[in-house]
């Protein structure tokens, strides 16, 4: 069964500082919750580093946005770091993106806190909790949430630099611009996807997903089949995203939710 545990204490819990915590190895981390008196705007950056690789990069507002998109209620004082996705339709699908820890891992959780807003602002309160499940013999998949940026100097903008590979699969792409109105995806010159904001908003509602203001969501797993409907990024020649906008916007940040298989020899087991 899974259970809830309080995490180790943070160090550096002050306005304008970076609070840091070392995550204990042993359990499988399915969800991590931050309990704090900080507002979303005051949580400037949240990251999880696994053995020198930043695998999760978020901020307070993005954490609230991701939860709202999935239809999860917003609870004042709590922020959710999504590892295993509890909206999956099967238990295996939910656990697929959990963070399995191994002996010798160095795992750090950091929270960058904004400067003190007023002289009489209260001291920062910050605690961590996690939903965990029993240890697994080996880590097969690493969950990742990272940001990339694309240029958008016209109304049709091509992006060919999405992090990809034979072992990288996309869960979701969130284009952080309200100007995006359509998306096409070509892989090795074959069109795999071509849709608009109106169509995808309709599909999201049918699958109990809720589009957020100022975001265009590409969600291949919106139906809840998190193993079968991941978007594989492997390609021989080219993986091209054509992002259509109402006007030239300069740049568009993209929040990339993905998984990386680190032990392909064990994936069938």
The answer, yes or no, to whether residue 86 has pLDDT greater than 90, is: no
The answer, yes or no, to whether residue 197 has pLDDT greater than 60, is: yes
For residues 95 and 13, membership in a common domain is answered with yes
For residues 84 and 199, membership in a common domain is answered with no
CA distance 258 to 142: 9
Q: How many CB atoms lie within 10 A of CB 75?
A: 11
* Domain final position from 88, 115, 139: 139
* pTM confidence score: 0.93
CA nearest neighbour of 256 among 176, 187, 180: 176
pLDDT tens per residue across span 24-58 = 999 999 999 999 999 999 999 999 999 999 999 99
Query: What's the confidence (pLDDT) of residue 109?
Result: 98
For residues 211 and 181, membership in a common domain is answered with yes
Q: CA dist 99 to 85, 133, 259, Å?
A: 11, 10, 10
Query: What's the confidence (pLDDT) of residue 168?
Result: 95
Range of the domain at 95: 3-139
Query: What's the confidence (pLDDT) of residue 268?
Result: 60
- In this prediction, residues 109-122 reach a mean pLDDT of 96
For residues 123 and 160, membership in a common domain is answered with no
For residues 150 and 134, membership in a common domain is answered with no
The number of C-alpha atoms within 13 Å of 249 and in the hemisphere containing its C-beta is 22
* Domain final position from 89, 121, 139: 139
Q: DSSP readout, 62-94?
A: HHHHHHHHTTPPP-TTEEEEESS-TT-SSHHHH
The answer, yes or no, to whether residue 136 has pLDDT greater than 60, is: yes
Q: Give the whole-number percent of the chain exceeding pLDDT 90.
A: 87
* Measured CA angle at 199 (ends 178, 231), to 5 deg: 85
Query: What's the confidence (pLDDT) of residue 173?
Result: 98
| Domain count along the chain | 2
For residues 118 and 160, membership in a common domain is answered with no
**Structure tokens given for 16:** 């304008």
Q: Torsion angle of alpha carbons 187, 190, 192, 195, nearest 10°?
A: 110
CA distance 199 to 204: 9
The answer, yes or no, to whether residue 94 has pLDDT greater than 60, is: yes
For residues 214 and 117, membership in a common domain is answered with no
* Domain final position from 76, 105, 139: 139
For residues 48 and 162, membership in a common domain is answered with no
From the number of C-beta atoms within 10 Å of its C-beta (0-12, 13-18, 19+), residue 230 rates as: buried
For residues 52 and 151, membership in a common domain is answered with no
- In this prediction, residues 12-27 reach a mean pLDDT of 96
For residues 110 and 156, membership in a common domain is answered with no
Which domain CATH number covers 194?
2.60.120.730
For residues 258 and 152, membership in a common domain is answered with yes
For residues 132 and 151, membership in a common domain is answered with no
The answer, yes or no, to whether residue 89 has pLDDT greater than 80, is: no
Residue 7 dihedral angles phi and psi, to the nearest 5°: -85, 170
The answer, yes or no, to whether residue 88 has pLDDT greater than 90, is: no
CA distance 269 to 260: 16
């Amino acid at each position: 069964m899974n259970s809830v545990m309080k995490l180790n204490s943070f160090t550096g819990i002050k306005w304008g500082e970076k609070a840091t915590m070392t995550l204990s190895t042993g359990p499988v981390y399915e969800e991590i919750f931050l309990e704090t008196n900080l507002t979303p705007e005051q949580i400037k950056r949240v990251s999880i580093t696994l053995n020198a690789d930043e695998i999760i990069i978020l901020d307070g507002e993005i954490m609230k946005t991701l939860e709202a998109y999935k239809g999860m209620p917003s609870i004042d004082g709590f922020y959710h770091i999504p590892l295993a996705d509890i909206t999956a339709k099967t238990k295996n699908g939910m656990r697929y993106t959990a963070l399995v820890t191994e002996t010798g891992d160095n795992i750090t959780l950091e929270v960058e806190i904004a400067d003190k807003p007023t002289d009489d602002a209260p001291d920062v309160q910050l605690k961590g909790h996690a939903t965990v499940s029993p240890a697994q013999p080996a880590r097969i998949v690493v969950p990742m949430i990272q940001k990339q940026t694309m240029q958008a100097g016209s109304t049709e903008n091509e992006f060919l630099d999405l992090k990809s590979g034979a072992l990288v699969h996309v869960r979701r792409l969130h284009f952080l611009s309200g100007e995006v109105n359509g998306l096409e995806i070509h892989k090795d010159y074959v069109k795999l996807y071509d849709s608009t904001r109106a169509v995808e908003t309709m599909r999201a509602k049918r699958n109990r997903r809720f589009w957020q203001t100022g975001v265009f969501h590409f969600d291949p797993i919106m139906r809840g089949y998190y193993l079968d409907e991941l978007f594989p990024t492997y390609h021989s020649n080219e993986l091209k995203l054509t992002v259509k906008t109402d006007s030239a916007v300069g740049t568009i940040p993209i929040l990339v939710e993905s998984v990386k298989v680190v032990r392909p020899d064990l994936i069938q087991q």
